[in-house]
Amino acid sequence: MFNRVCIIGFGLIGSSLARGIAKHNLAKEIICVDQSRLACDRVLELGLAAKATTHPAEGVKGADLVIIAVPVGAYSAVMAAIGPHLEPRTILTDAGSVKQSVIEAVLPHINNDIRFVPGHPIAGTENSGPDAGFAELFMGRWSILTPLPDTDGDALHDVKTLWESLGAKVEIMDPKRHDLVLGITSHLPHLIAYTVVGTASDLEAHTKDDVIKFSAGGFRDFTRIAASDPVMWRDIFVNNQAAVLEILQRFNEDLTSLQRAIRNGDGQTLEDLFTRTREIRRGVIQAKQEVPPEKK
């Protein structure tokens, strides 16, 4: 399908892409670019790429597909480094969790020769680094593409086919809408989980020990979400500021009204909400975005 694929950033997503592309024979050659020499060495040890370099400009040479899979705050630097070295007609895509800011960071560095298809796979675990990836990460998951009005149709088709070959379902979406929807489904839950775990980590030592010991009551799930890569998430909040702050405001208003209901012993308001939220859960299960309920 592709001749030489250069993946920039070999974390969970980048290394899963490399494994998937190799497994399904979607490219003749995979080139790894990662800013960490240690990560590059590990990638070669794991046999995930034919070549691994810390120099982006060197990595993209001769590549007909370049995939950026670094934290969104690093796009400007990566683009400044690779922009002048991309082959004409190269397809450039990415896996960034925010789309408007990514597009703004990429466009100044490419000309009309480069076929840019912004993308974002909705897949992940709380683990990071080249060892964390696996070829099946995208199986049955959504991958959202947010093409621009002038995005090349063939390139869009090829990137779509790539994701489908890895088992993903592809959705085409406006970048602004992507940032709002993901703000609700991903960025807000992560921010909240980080806050809850942070609040707990400030407790006196004795209580903190008990919190860890008895974490099975719900807190445990929050610690899993709040174990996600710190730099990746720092960049997401800074780069999706407007959408996150807007959603956070709505959340705060809702939390304040629940707080008032608890203070007033207003059980009815609580029960009404707790009943209403079950409908959303049913939607999630029907949309097959959940594995069948396990006995935990």
Residues 108-127 that bind a second copy (CB under 8 A): 122-127
The neighbouring-strand residues paired with 144 are 120, 171
Give dist(CA 116, CA 103) in Å, integer. 9
Q: Can you tell me which of 25, 88, 213, 292 binds a second copy, judged by CB under 8 A?
A: 213
Considering only residues 157 through 196, tell me which ones interact with a second copy, judged by CB under 8 A: 171, 177, 180-182, 184-186, 188-196
For residue 40, give the nearest of 23, 24, 26, 58 by alpha carbon: 58
DSSP string spanning 201-241? Answer: HTS-HHHHHHHHHTGGGTHHHHHHHTTS-HHHHHHHHHHTH
Does position 220 bind a second copy by CB under 8 A? yes
Does position 230 bind a second copy by CB under 8 A? yes
50 vs 270, beta carbon nearer a second copy: 270
* Tally: H helices and E strands in the chain: 13, 9
Eight-class DSSP state of 125: -
Does position 221 bind a second copy by CB under 8 A? yes
Cβ contact 93:160 at 8 Å: no
Q: Can you tell me which of 144, 145, 162, 166 binds a second copy, judged by CB under 8 A?
A: 144
For residue 16, give the nearest of 110, 95, 105 by alpha carbon: 95
Does position 207 bind a second copy by CB under 8 A? yes
35 vs 152, beta carbon nearer a second copy: 35
Give dist(CA 139, CA 131) in Å, integer. 18
111 vs 289, beta carbon nearer a second copy: 289
Give me the torsion for CA of 39, 43, 49, 55, rounded to 10°.
20
With 0-12 / 13-18 / 19 or more C-beta atoms within 10 angstroms meaning exposed / middle / buried, residue 167 is middle
50 vs 203, beta carbon nearer a second copy: 203
**Both tokens assigned to 270:** 């609580």
Q: Can you tell me which of 52, 137, 145, 156 binds a second copy, judged by CB under 8 A?
A: 137
Does position 77 bind a second copy by CB under 8 A? no
Cβ contact 237:98 at 8 Å: no
For residue 181, give the nearest of 253, 243, 272 by alpha carbon: 243
Give the contact letters, 259-288, x = binds to a second copy (CB under 8 A), - = no: x-xxx-x-x--xx-xxxxxxxxx-xx--x-
CB 270 → a second copy: shortest distance, Å? 4
Query: Under rule CB under 8 A, how many of the chain's residues touch a second copy?
Result: 101
Does position 35 bind a second copy by CB under 8 A? no
CB 44 → a second copy: shortest distance, Å? 23
Q: Which stretch binds a second copy (CB under 8 A): 28-36, 54-62, 102-110, 231-239?
A: 231-239
**Both tokens assigned to 186:** 């991903």
Q: Which stretch binds a second copy (CB under 8 A): 41-49, 61-69, 160-168, 232-240?
A: 232-240
Does position 289 bind a second copy by CB under 8 A? yes
